[in-house]
Copies of this chain bind each other. A is one copy, B any other.
């Protein structure tokens, strides 16, 4: 198991405090934050870090395949340190984004590639609905 610094070096990315902080934050959260959310959450510990750096860092991490960008249909992207192509489920009430285990669904890739003769690379699967918590609360 490589350290974050090791992972970065492996991809020929220089190890900077900003990159460490962003990757660390992403791998210790399950909220699938947007760039703005990452920026705000690191403001306290890294007050000089700019939003542009957050974007540039995320771009570098996505290109290095250390992080994936997900698009739940909001106005901004969200990021996930889990780079496997797993489905997500989004609560339309509280807007939380949850992971679904990769094996929660049958092997769709095989099905789709058989039907379409595409050479499939990846997929984005999003389910929308109301989470148990929000179902319970009066609105």
A121: B residues at CB distance < 8 A: 92, 128-130
Q: Which 10 A-B pairs have the closest CB atoms?
A: A120-B129, A118-B129, A124-B126, A119-B130, A117-B132, A123-B127, A121-B129, A119-B129, A71-B73, A112-B127
With CB as the reference atom, state the residue of chain B lying closest to A119.
B130
Chain B residue numbers with a CB within 8 Å of A126 are: 123-125
Q: Tell me the nearest residue of chain B to A130, going by C-beta.
A: B119
Q: Which residues of A contact B (CB under 8 A)?
A: 71, 73, 87, 89, 91-92, 98, 100, 104-106, 108-109, 111-113, 115-132, 135
Q: In the assembly, how many copies of this chain are there?
A: 2
Knowing A73-B71, A105-B108, A111-B104 touch, does A116 contact B128 (C-beta < 8 A)? no
A127 touches B117 (CB 8 A): no
Asked if A106 and B106 make an inter-chain contact with CB atoms under 8 angstroms apart, the answer reads yes
Residues of the B chain whose Cβ atoms lie less than 8 Å from the Cβ of A111: 104-106
